[in-house]
Amino acid sequence: MPSALILIADGTEEIEFVTPYDVLIRAGFQVTSVGINLKSQYATCTRNVKIIPDTTDLPSEPTTDILILPGGGPGAATFVASNSVQHLVRAYRDAGKHTAFICAGTTALVASVKGAGKTEGLESTKMVRVTSHPSVKKEIEDAGWDYADESERVVINGKVITSRGPGTAMEFALTIVEVLVGKEKRQEVAGPMLSPEVVKA
């Protein structure tokens, strides 16, 4: 069974958390959510939706096939500031695992590389081609990253998947399904949900 770890913090964007969590469950994944530095037992998201994570115990090494970081400015800032989250992002990349970031969550990827040092050859030291929410585009470009054309709603570069924002969360989630378990499973999941990619005029 494929597996995913998805992080959540106060100020995480609800749609970007719930959509991949839901879609991956539909695709047969074992999904675990981890709350990061929460002020309560639940995360208070950007629109004040409250979500109780599965756990607040963040592993120090990869435990799943993919690590997913949603956006939302304040939530992403928590991921950037957390040494434990930064370590885990680097650990997933160095272990050859998939990582996925959406919206401002991409800034946590950028920060993880900045904090990785100069150890030659490690995946965690490598910049890749990415996208994000437009509000953090300049920050990412100024850090020297290859920023994809804004027409690209989901970008895959090696084992790193990035996407743009709440409106691309479904494509982001379905892309994760396709990358990890195949196009047939993506279509199987997208159909009953009446995803735009399968709805005919």
Active site residues: 16, 103, 133
Residues of 33-65 as b/e, b for ≥16 C-beta within 10 angstroms?
bbbbbbeeeebbbbeeeebebeeeebeeebebb
**119 vs 117: CA distance, rounded Å:** 6
Q: CB under 8 Å to 8, separation ≥6 — which residues?
A: 17, 33, 34, 35, 36, 43, 45, 51, 53, 70, 75
How far apart CA 51 and CA 54 sit, in angstroms, is 10
* Nearest residue to 11 (alpha-carbon basis) of 75, 94, 104, 80: 75
Rounded CA-CA distance 170/154 in Å is 10
User: What CA–CA distance (Å, rounded) separates 170 from 195?
Assistant: 8
> In this structure, are strands 30-35 and 3-8 parallel, antiparallel, or unpaired?
parallel
